[in-house]
Amino acid sequence: MGNINTQALERYGLSSFDSAWGEVVRGIEKECLRVAADCSLSKKPHPEALGSPLTNPFITTDFSEALLEFITPIYSNIDECLEMLDLIHCFSAQNIEQNETLWSTSMPCPLGLSSEIPIANYGNSNNGLLKTLYRKGLSNRYGSIMQTVAGIHYNFSMPESFWLPFQTQRGEKGSLQDFKTKSYLNLIRNFHRFSWLLIYLFGASPAADRTFVQSRQNTLETFDKDTVFLPFATCLRMGRLGYKSEAQQSLFICYNDLQSYVDCLKGAMKTPYPAYQEISQESNGNHGQINTNLLQLENEFYSSIRPKRNTTNDRRPLEALLKEGIEYIEIRSLDLNPYLPLGIDAEQCRFLDTFLLHCLLTDSPECNADEFFEVSANVTKVVERGRSPGLNLMQQGTEKSLSTWSKELLNDMRYAASLLEKSDHKDRYDLAIQVQLQKIDKPELTPSGKMMSQIKQSQQSFTEIAHQQSKTHTSYFLNKTIDSGKYEEMKVAAVTSISKQKQIEALAQPHFDDFLNQWNAHLEAP
């Protein structure tokens, strides 16, 4: 271990790496659908026992009333983070309708018409109405079906004790926060270059129920009357049928400096988009979207990673970022692993921490438009054909096999693993890399490979397999004994959140039209 630690310091140009710096901080946000007994999407409102989705810090909704989102606080201990996620699951499973299950896959259950998918309701406060209107705008722009896919968001930051010594070792001048922001942007650029590797290793959506592609052009193949798929696909959720927008395909979002990033997004938020200008107001006078611009809000930009800053509801995220700098980064490209009750486990967390630390510490050339779109093309290839034998990607204009490049990256990451093991005092980070290395020569070991093998061998549909896994996992959460004190804490948080929403709604507020005009007022003509 001592030898590889020395090599790791040389690899990353460091003079030292204190064991405390390996105590990285992470939080997990996990989405999953509530599904009725007949495998259809639940039409029931968000359960009152789960609290207010506007104000509950642990349980909210994403696009739909049926799309739950579980949010952990941040932890420097992986096991504690997963224990909290497990507690939220258990509490939720024990407080939804008895015949409902928590859907275990990223691709949704069988869906009816887009208009039948209930959009999330956040109450009558102006902030709540704005959240619902944003989702109505997503529905009018892209259709509600696309919005039912679920994923895991992994929030990552380095401990505070790391930054000043790291800045000193890098010989960087200026404020510490500016240095943090610059370092996180370095991480983001490298993440984009290598994100296809995460999609290959952890993608778990090679197939879907046929209703997911209803009335949409697609190139998927038919397995049976209910299942569509691509033979070597890894993560259809991140492809053309999932969180992709034709309108956004031409956007070049630059991560060379924070001002450039903010300017790119602000430009998209200022630019009227002809197709969205055609979305009419509903006959009852309700708004159909927040505005007619390419992006209604910053969050509408479908990125696999985002720079983040905690802020209050009345502050725009980009304004907070620009004024106070990047606080943490959010990874958004992870599928739910249907073979794990939580959709993620400690081994995957350790790998993600290693991957992100490597992206942070290794050289990160500035991005340009050519590389940006080259990276996008690599991601599309891996999404649709990642397990295809002999698949080649492009690296700076030159073809390189996925197999060769993957092994190079994974072996290079072992240096970052050795640094993290200084605080872990075990070989679990390197072991996480060894497990992933096995998937390169044996794609059947990937979650997408396992799912396609199961579909073919069992001759069951995607929905049948997903339903079985969902019932198994939901049963696990239903039957697990929760510490009474922790259960009571979750119950109190739910009850308190409802009271908090009522307090917010009781405050004097301007008419929503005036509130919306004020919200959009910061957007000057492009």
What gap in Å lies between CA 493 and CA 60, rounded to an integer?
Answer: 12
Tell me, what's the pLDDT at 524?
Answer: 57
What is the structure's pLDDT at 282? 61
Alpha helices in 271-316 (DSSP H): 274-277
Which SS3 state, helix, strand or coil, does residue 228 take? Answer: strand
Q: If 0-12 CB within 10 Å is exposed, 13-18 middle and 19+ buried, where does residue 285 land? A: exposed
Whole-number Å distance between alpha carbons of 63 and 118: 9
Whole-number pLDDT of residue 314: 66
Cα separation of 525 and 271, whole Å? 8
What is residue 369's predicted lDDT score, i.e. its pLDDT? 86
Please name the helix (run of DSSP H) or strand (run of DSSP E) that holds residue 157, with its range, or none. Answer: strand 152-157
What was the pLDDT predicted at 121?
Answer: 98
354 burial via Cβ count (<10 Å: 0-12, 13-18, 19+): buried
Segments of the chain scoring below 50 in pLDDT:
283, 525-526
d(CA 423, CA 420): 6
Q: Are 137 and 290 in contact (CB under 8 A)?
A: yes
Output the CA torsion sign for 491, 494, 496, 498. Answer: negative
Q: Does domain 2-520 have CATH number 3.40.50.720?
A: no
pLDDT of residue 117: 96
The model's pTM is 0.96
State how far the Cα of 326 lies from the Cα of 311, in Å rounded to an integer. Answer: 11
Alpha carbons 404 and 380: distance in angstroms, whole number: 18
| pLDDT number for residue 424 | 77
Six-digit token pair at 37?
């007994």
Q: What is the pLDDT of residue 302?
A: 87
Residue 106 contacts residue 149 (beta carbons within 8 Å): yes
